[in-house]
Amino acid sequence: MIEPERLDHFMARANAAYYASHDPFADFTTAPEISQVFGELLGAWAASVWAQMGAPDPVLLIEAGPGRGTLMADALRTVARVAPDFAAALRVHLIETSPRLRAEQAARLPSAMWHDRLEDVPAGPAIVLANEFLDALPIRQFEHVAGAWAERHVAGGRFVALPCAHASDAAPDGAVLELGEAALAWMASLAARLVREGGAALILDYGFTQAQYGDTLQALRHGRPVSPLVEAGTADLTAHVDFAALAATARAKGATVWGPVAQGDFLRALGLEARVERLAALHPARAAALVAGADRLASPAQMGALFKVLAVTGSRIMPPGF
């Protein structure tokens, strides 16, 4: 008899095992790995926000779930060029639980400090970046069966829906409700910190802007979908991010929310085309690849519309791109 495990517990265990033992970038590609321009534009964004914060020195530049460290390395290169004062003032703090990825990040970002959780990062004004971080945090799922909600558990590679206290409502039978409790708790903590200490955060991820029913849990292996429930720890489990709920959570903590806007619109507003043209002129042999990479990030048919960007500010800042 296999004890059913609540989906969020299963997902937390599966992802911790996966990130500790696998190279995630063999299974999926993220924006900073597609184009250096992504991190460069985010570096310029951070520099602009820092100036609006009154140029605090020191300032924490925090990234959650930095993967290979590519985004931060690209951002720092741009910051050193366009805002040397900011470059001198910033201290890089990375939130990463995977020892394997910490080692990769250290190769690119030797002066960074590492933490397991946002709550462990020292106090002070901060600029926070998170790309494809929240989609990897565990979710709960509820299924509407015979007029009542039941909570999805995992047993023997299959879902088992067990009775639960979630109040019944008019949802159609078969509807699936997702609750990204871990992402919301993270946002509550982030927003409270920004209000208390000052600063701004930029969250980029795929997801929806209005709550909706549906099962968005997915697993990718070598770029192909596989069953999320079998062989915990062999594929990365992700779910769509509920940006409406994130925004409401940040506001409830007294922070100001910007967006969400589509990633394509955001990157174009930050000067994607001009940056690509300049790089292409400097490196003609790479021009076609640079244009193709930018298109993948910004075109609505690719990542430009599914991916959304949300900014959260705790002080008087008008973040660019919104």
Q: What are the residues binding ligand SAH (CB under 6 A)?
A: 15, 19, 24, 30-33, 65-67, 71, 95-98, 101, 131-133, 136-137
Q: Are 164 and 149 in contact, with CB atoms under 8 Å apart?
A: yes
CB of 92 to ligand SAH, least distance (A): 14
CB of 202 to ligand SAH, least distance (A): 12
CB of 61 to ligand SAH, least distance (A): 14
CB of 44 to ligand SAH, least distance (A): 18
* Nearest-angstrom CA–CA distance, 132 and 264: 15
158 φ/ψ angles, rounded to the nearest 5 degrees: -135, 160
Of 2 and 20, which has the nearer Cβ to ligand SAH?
20
* Count helices and strands in the chain by DSSP H and E runs: 11, 16
Of 84 and 99, which has the nearer Cβ to ligand SAH?
99
Pairing of strands 199-208, 126-131: parallel
Q: How many CB atoms lie within 10 A of CB 228?
A: 24
CB burial string 185-207: b at 16+ within 10 A, e below: ebbbebbbbbbebbbbbbbbbbb
Of 142 and 307, which has the nearer Cβ to ligand SAH?
307
* Nearest-angstrom CA–CA distance, 115 and 109: 14
Task: Using alpha carbons, list the distances in angstroms from residue 86 to 89, 114, 163, 218, 314.
Answer: 5, 20, 53, 39, 19
Tokens of 255: 């922070």
CB of 8 to ligand SAH, least distance (A): 12
Of 19 and 149, which has the nearer Cβ to ligand SAH?
19
CB of 285 to ligand SAH, least distance (A): 25
Q: Give, to the nearest 10 degrees, the angle between helix 36-52 and helix 272-282.
A: 130
CB of 119 to ligand SAH, least distance (A): 11
Q: How many CB atoms lie within 10 A of CB 68?
A: 18
Of 53 and 61, which has the nearer Cβ to ligand SAH?
61
Of 73 and 177, which has the nearer Cβ to ligand SAH?
73
* Nearest-angstrom CA–CA distance, 93 and 109: 10
Tokens of 4: 């059913």
Write the CB contacts of 232 (distance below 8 Å, at least 6 apart in sequence): 10, 13, 14, 17
CB of 168 to ligand SAH, least distance (A): 32
Of 32 and 304, which has the nearer Cβ to ligand SAH?
32
Of 95 and 241, which has the nearer Cβ to ligand SAH?
95
